[in-house]
Amino acid sequence: MAQFAATLLSESKAVGSIPTTGKCYYYVRQMFKKFALFIAFTAVGIGIATKYNQLHSVPDLPELDLERWWGDGDKPKQEDKSIRPFKVVFNDTMIEDLKSRLKNRRSYTRPMEGTQSEYGMNTVYLEKMLNYWMEEYNFKERAKRLNRFPHYKTKIQGLDIHYIRVKPEAKNLKVLPLLLMHGWPSSSKEFDMAIPMLTTPRSGYDFIFEVVAIDLPGFGFSEGTNKPGLSPLQMSIIMRNLMKRLGFKKYYIQAGDWGSQTGTHLATVFQDEVLGFHTNMPVSSRPISNLKYILGSLFPSFIVEEKHRHRMYPLKDLFSYLMRESGYFHLQATKPDTIGAALADTPAGLAAYTLEKIGVCSNRDQLHTPHGGLAEIDIDDLLDTVTILWANERITTSVRVYAEAFAWPEVFVVHEIPTYVPTAAINFLYEVVYQPDWILRDKFPNLVHSTTLDFGGHFAAMHTPKELVDDVFESVVEFIKFHERNNYNK
């Protein structure tokens, strides 16, 4: 107010020292103008400061029941905590039924003239895949291939959880525990090419990994729940309790898609238990990150390097892509049981629906081809994924994660809490969304390793396993350095 008193005094001198009615009116009008400007600028300043603080504020961690029961009925007094060996079996009854349904499928409407995969799954290409599945895909040999790793099941919070655990044979090397988590519509099968690379010693590294590759609840060979609420946040608790069951107090994580969301929550809620988090789908969902993304469309040079700018801007390209490709997401996030019922009785429909999404997420620039991006992944690996979904009747329980992820306020709260676990990000070209390090650090302040490649897609472990594993080894070196520095500073 002292500044305004000086201003008013200056105004009074400007109109003369002897006040008249006109001069008084002028004086009062000028006073109110200045005062109004003062109020306006103050309000704007307070609003900006308040919004800035809101965007940067960190909520308290919500109360979470770490033993919440997801099994049928009420929690029993005595839980089954046994760990049981498991073997993948594609039995004759399932195979015969599947082939019968494929053989008796209706003929498909052909793609329209001048189109390939722009309208979705190219049905001419689909017919070839279905015929291969029916006549050439070797169910027994594929099951045998999956069984080259030790498989297990154990009940966690009432659900039978399936996982692969591979203990390497290594002398004079540190053995580091690594939890691998997949996304939709996949399973632990997604990692079957990466696992041997992770458990084989390599030159220049004094460590190797003991791998635990899981099937998320409701995916693959893991049991789903009939109780609402099993979000990726709740899945992270199940994964943490699984690792405790297996004797791991601390461990590393590699994950993509919903596995990455689960891993992000795990690294946020249990920050003292995760040694490092490596993700091929790095995303910060904090409000400040969303604001940066939008403001970056006005000043992109402040947000992202020029060579990677096309991955984010112009926003109209991103919105066009999301509008074209996110219909399945909206359906699964709102009516998962409807699409589940539509696909549960038709292996051909299940293949068309899931494989089309795998193709476009592997290379969305190939919609002008019959395969729509699928040709970049081996057909047997693709059909392994669909066969596991079909054999275990997991389509409905797996798509429900989309609805559960957006239905519970606690999930959004945890998204807003940074994790200080050392983190590494690898960005393949056709990942669904790209965020530069400056945005990722809103959620992951200790982003110690970041790689951006001009190839590859969403299903990295199945599509580009070597590059993914190479980056995991490089990242763990940085994680170890981070902890050494941290201990030294203490």
Take residue 153 and report the two structure tokens written for it.
């099941």
Q: Which of 252, 402, 430, 434 is catalytic?
A: 402
CA 230 to chain centre: 16
Residue type at 93?
T
Give Cα separations from 396 to 88, 164, 185, 392, 481 (angstroms).
21, 23, 11, 11, 43
Give Cα separations from 207 to 203, 230, 258 (angstroms).
10, 35, 28
CA atoms within 13 A on the CB side of 126: 25
- 335-340, long-range: CB within 8 Å, 24+ apart, which pairs? 336/396, 336/399, 336/400, 336/402, 336/403, 337/396, 337/400, 339/395, 339/399, 340/395, 340/396, 340/397, 340/399, 340/400
Q: Is 384 a catalytic residue?
A: no
Strand 151-156 to 83-86 pairing: antiparallel
Q: Is 257 a catalytic residue?
A: yes
Q: Is 458 a catalytic residue?
A: yes
Q: Which of 215, 257, 384, 471 is catalytic?
A: 257
SS3 (DSSP) at 373: coil
d(CA 373, CA 352): 13
H/E run at residue 11? helix 2-14
As annotated, the active-site residues are: 257, 402, 458
